[in-house]
Amino acid sequence: MRKLALAFSLLASPALATGLQIEIAGEANGTVVIDLFEDVAPQHVAQITALAEEGAYDGIVFHRVIDGFMAQTGDVEFGKIDGGDMRMAGRGGSSRPDLPAEFSDLPFDRGVVGMARGASFDSANSQFFIMFQPAPFLNDPNNPYTVVGAVIEGMDVVDAIKRGEGRNGEVMGRPDVMSTVTVTE
């Protein structure tokens, strides 16, 4: 049933329960609206919304962007466009504790938002990624990731985010940035 709801949300832009409005600047310029799935990953959604309400995501870069895969952001420790340590972007989190895994059977399709993590399933903190294309391997039961939401407006903006280089997708030069991130109800 949730898969049907996800498909509907990606196509029809229903009213948001909780979501994010992200203003992106750089090669991509515009607004992205994300519907957060508090019923699927309540602890992850609570952490993301708390960080957004604090302004922690404002000015954070898209540090890892792999064409045909995803765009990753959310390193509030090192990823500030002004005053951050761009050499370290992608290696940090927030001052909040890491989260226990909240896996689901929702597929990692185009527009799905997932939580980045380290090797431990319980290591997600502040970083998240937006899918350019489906990636079923992220649902592998031996190495799954947490789905936290889906883009319901602005995939054209996501598609325009500056791409990284190489296998790891590190963005060189000046990366695109989340100028402001606002929680919506």
| pLDDT for res 17 | 62
Q: Is the pLDDT of residue 6 over 60?
A: no
What pLDDT, in 10s, does the model give residues 114-167?
Answer: 999 999 999 999 999 999 999 999 999 999 999 999 999 999 999 999 999 977
pTM, two decimals, is 0.89
Chain-centroid distance of CA 112 in Å reads 8
Mean pLDDT of the chain: 89
Domains of the chain with bracketed CATH: 2-10+19-184 (2.40.100.10)
The CA distance from 106 to 95, in Å, is 29
